[in-house]
Structure 1
Amino acid sequence: MADTIMADPATRDVLAIFERARSRLFGRLEGLTDAEYHWEPADDCIGVRPGDDGVFRVAVLIPESSPDVPDPLTTIAWRIWHIGALCLRGYVIHFFEDVPEFGDRHAWPGTAEEGVRALAEDWDHFISRIAALGDERLLAPIGTGPGGWADETYLKLALHALVEVSHHGGEIGLLRDLYLREGV
């Protein structure tokens, strides 16, 4: 595989940037406690909570927004779920043929340790598929998927994933910083 990556500079560069993003995000998640994972700094916070069946699920998939009302805050657990299950896992489900059995996409671990582990697994599933494409396929139209994605490239999909990781990863870092300073 190393020979393929060296011959495919776009794939090599995308994987290098993903590795840098992974390193930064997972560095920020080290030592995450369950209390931080579920911390709700505002009354209208959206999180991952247990249902009547005891299974933790996201309360709201994508918060509604409007110009007159600010978006509700989401917990670190929701943001980790959003990056892992909604984005990376969702991309594997919708855009690749060799999809593993994932089960309920909206169920998510109730502990920080399990949530970070699930995110790492979703990350690995997505990255392994991007790595296997090579430049020719990375730069060609996907050919399948919801919405207008069939005409887009896997490169655009990968870049969209990076936007989600940077957006929500930065907010995870900020929430951790605020949690650590709460009451100080």
Structure 2
Amino acid sequence: MADMIVPDPVTRDVLAIFEEVRYQLFGRLEGLTDAEYHWEPVGDCIGIRPGDDGLFRVATLFPESSPDAPDPVTTIAWRIWHIGNLCLRGYVIYLFDDVPDYGDRDVWPGTAKEGIQALAEDWEHFISRIAALGDKRLLAPIGMGPGGWADETYLKLALHALKEVTHHGGEIGLLRDLHLREGV
């Protein structure tokens, strides 16, 4: 996407910001080991685990929060899954017309390398659809989708995706830093 010429200024700027965030996130993921990917820093950590069939699936789709208890802690694998599958892939599935065949959406790679590759593919699918919209469509209501998204713009969707990526990407960076210092 970095070498794409986009004449529409809003679309161009949104894509440029996504490219900067992609560079930072994937830079932080370089060298990620399977041990880090699945590391559970606390006992009640939420991650992705193999089922009886040997396929990895997310243990909890939406961790519950409570005003009386801290938010649950999730693994790097869960956060990569959340960004890739739940957010970017989910937005493509529910808010765009041309949806690739993703197969079983509940299954997610059990290795760091494959998880990062799946995230990269989900990223490209989402970004290519945002790029194809152009400013006029980017600023118009989506017209379809669950949870009130039909009345929102694709720009708001893109900004929401950016918020999710930066939020969980920052947490991934912190978890990597903590894992590196575990036992020090």
TM-score by length of 1: 0.97
> What corresponds to 2:53 in structure 1?
53
Shift of 1:103: 1.3
Shift of 1:69: 1.0
> What corresponds to 2:146 in structure 1?
146
Identity of aligned residues (%): 81
The one-letter code of the counterpart of 1:98 is: D
Q: CA–CA distance in 2 between the matches of 1:77 and 1:93?
A: 21
Structure 2 residue runs of 5 or longer lacking an equivalent are: none
> What corresponds to 2:79 in structure 1?
79
Q: CA–CA distance in 1 between the matches of 2:106 and 2:19?
A: 26
The one-letter code of the counterpart of 1:19 is: E
Q: CA–CA distance in 2 between the matches of 1:174 and 1:115?
A: 18
> What corresponds to 2:19 in structure 1?
19
Q: Which runs of 4+ in 1 moved over 2 A?
A: none
Per the alignment, in what secondary structure is the counterpart of residue 157 of structure 1? helix
Shift of 1:91: 0.2
Shift of 1:73: 0.5
Shift of 1:71: 1.3
Shift of 1:147: 1.1
Q: CA–CA distance in 1 between the matches of 2:104 and 2:154?
A: 25
Shift of 1:2: 5.0
Q: CA–CA distance in 2 between the matches of 1:40 and 1:102?
A: 28
More displaced, 98-107 or 20-29? Answer: 98-107
Q: Does 1:175 align with 2:181?
A: no
The one-letter code of the counterpart of 2:11 is: T
Q: CA–CA distance in 2 between the matches of 1:47 and 1:141?
A: 35
Q: CA–CA distance in 1 between the matches of 2:66 and 2:73?
A: 14
Q: CA–CA distance in 2 between the matches of 1:2 and 1:169?
A: 24
Q: Does 1:99 align with 2:99?
A: yes
> What corresponds to 1:112 in structure 2?
112
Q: Does 1:155 align with 2:155?
A: yes
Per the alignment, in what secondary structure is the counterpart of residue 49 of structure 1? strand
The one-letter code of the counterpart of 2:101 is: E
TM-score by length of 2: 0.97
Structure 1 residue runs of 5 or longer lacking an equivalent are: none
> What corresponds to 2:28 in structure 1?
28
Residues 58-93 of structure 1 show CA distances to partners (whole Å, capped at 9, x for unaligned) of 000010001001111000000000000000000000
> What corresponds to 1:43 in structure 2?
43
Q: CA–CA distance in 1 between the matches of 2:141 and 2:93?
A: 17
RMSD of aligned Cα (Å)? 1.0
Q: CA–CA distance in 2 between the matches of 1:72 and 1:130?
A: 32
